[in-house]
């Protein structure tokens, strides 16, 4: 069973929806023992509640409109980062994390956009782009949106490099691989570790969607209208010389209008032709009547009259 299961899912992956330190240290999400000492430290912080993701006073703004930007160059400034992120939308707030003592950049930042749609555009398009010759990674704000999150400085986090020996799986850079062995469901349930989603794996090339904000229907309509306006303005700024592409409804409306106008013009032309023809007939009938009227007196003069002939002879 396990061999068949593994052969079908060898190229499939899945992503973590909640954070568990032991699962994050496992390549397939099925380990039940800590992988290294950092995982033990993160597990201690998680079980004892030593970390509060909402306790940082520097964290401001809407987390659903905020992205995490990592692997930044230490020479990248706030102005350079703002200019690079402005390609994807209107930047509302930006925080480049710096060292408390030296003030040097720590290589990551949080960027808040005006709308959630602009944040998703940056999430999709800015990943693996270059800023100051450094290839960056982009993720959503897991600190506030991912349940059970533990940061890297406490032994948690996601991703990492092989040289560090502390790889963390389940994120956008390093997703979980589909298990090649039998899944210990009972042990995972006992430890509170989410089990792999059997039968619902994703491809490596699929991008996981960030969590969405739940709103009432009225707020969603207003936000959708605002996002449509911002998207139109963004398209105008990006391509001012590009003509607007007509939709199928516009093309059908134009064709119907053109058909109506052509039909109306043909009708008017036919009516004008009938008027011209009737006017020509009227002119012809009038000409014939005037001709006969002019010819009628001459025939009466030429007509023979005995009385008038006699008088003329006398």
- What would the pLDDT profile of 269-291 be if each residue is shown by its tens digit? 656 656 555 555 555 555 555 55
Judge contact between 149 and 21, C-beta under 8 A. no
| DSSP letter (8 states) at residue 89 | S
- Domain spans in the chain, listed from the N-terminal domain onward: 1-53+148-216, 62-146
What per-residue confidence (pLDDT) applies to 309? 46
| Statement: 62-146 belongs to CATH 3.90.550.10 | no
How confident is the model over 134-155, as a mean pLDDT? Answer: 93
What per-residue confidence (pLDDT) applies to 177? 92
User: Which residues are CB-contacts of 177 (< 8 A; sequence separation ≥ 6)?
Assistant: 12, 13, 27, 28
Q: Which of 141-145, 157-161, 295-299 has the highest mean pLDDT?
A: 141-145
Where is pLDDT greater, at 284 or 132? 132
Statement: residue 60 has pLDDT above 90: no
The lowest-confidence range among 21-35, 59-73, 176-190, 289-303 is 289-303
| DSSP letter (8 states) at residue 289 | H
Q: Is 262 helix (H, G, I), strand (E, B) or coil?
A: helix
Judge contact between 98 and 110, C-beta under 8 A. no
Judge contact between 120 and 234, C-beta under 8 A. no
Q: What percent of the chain has pLDDT over 90?
A: 48
User: Which residues are CB-contacts of 133 (< 8 A; sequence separation ≥ 6)?
Assistant: 73
| Mean pLDDT, the chain, integer | 79
Tokens, residue 159: 């991703």
- What would the pLDDT profile of 111-123 be if each residue is shown by its tens digit? 999 999 999 999 9
How confident is the model over 244-260, as a mean pLDDT? Answer: 58
Judge contact between 47 and 150, C-beta under 8 A. no
């Amino acid at each position: 069973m396990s061999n068949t299961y593994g052969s079908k899912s060898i190229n499939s992956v899945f992503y973590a929806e909640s954070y568990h330190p032991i699962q994050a240290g496992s390549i397939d999400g099925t380990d039940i023992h800590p992988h290294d000492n950092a995982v033990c430290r993160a597990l201690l912080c998680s079980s004892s509640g030593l970390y509060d993701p909402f306790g940082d006073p520097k964290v401001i703004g809407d987390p659903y409109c905020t992205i995490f930007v990592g692997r930044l160059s230490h020479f990248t400034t706030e102005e350079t980062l703002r200019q690079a992120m402005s390609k994807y939308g209107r930047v509302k707030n930006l925080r480049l994390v710096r060292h408390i003592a030296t003030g040097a950049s720590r290589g990551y930042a949080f960027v808040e956009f005006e709308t959630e749609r602009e944040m998703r555009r940056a999430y999709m398009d800015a990943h693996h782009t270059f800023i100051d010759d450094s290839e960056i990674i982009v993720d959503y704000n897991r600190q506030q949106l991912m349940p059970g999150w533990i940061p890297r400085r406490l032994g948690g986090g996601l991703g990492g490099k092989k040289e560090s020996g502390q790889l963390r799986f389940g994120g956008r850079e390093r997703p979980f691989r589909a298990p090649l062995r039998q899944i210990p469901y009972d042990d995972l349930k006992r430890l509170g570790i989410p089990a792999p989603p059997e039968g619902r794996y994703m491809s490596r090339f699929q991008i996981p969607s960030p969590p969405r904000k739940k709103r009432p229907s009225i707020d969603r309509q207003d936000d959708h209208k605002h996002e449509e306006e911002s998207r139109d303005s963004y398209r105008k700024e990006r391509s001012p010389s590009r003509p607007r592409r007509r939709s199928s409804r516009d093309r059908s409306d134009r064709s119907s209008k053109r058909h109506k106008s052509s039909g109306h013009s043909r009708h008017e032309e036919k009516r004008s032709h009938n008027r011209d023809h009737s006017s020509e007939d009227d002119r012809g009938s009038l000409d014939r009547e005037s001709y006969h009227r002019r010819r009628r007196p001459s025939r009466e003069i030429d007509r023979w009259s005995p009385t008038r002939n006699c008088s003329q002879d006398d």
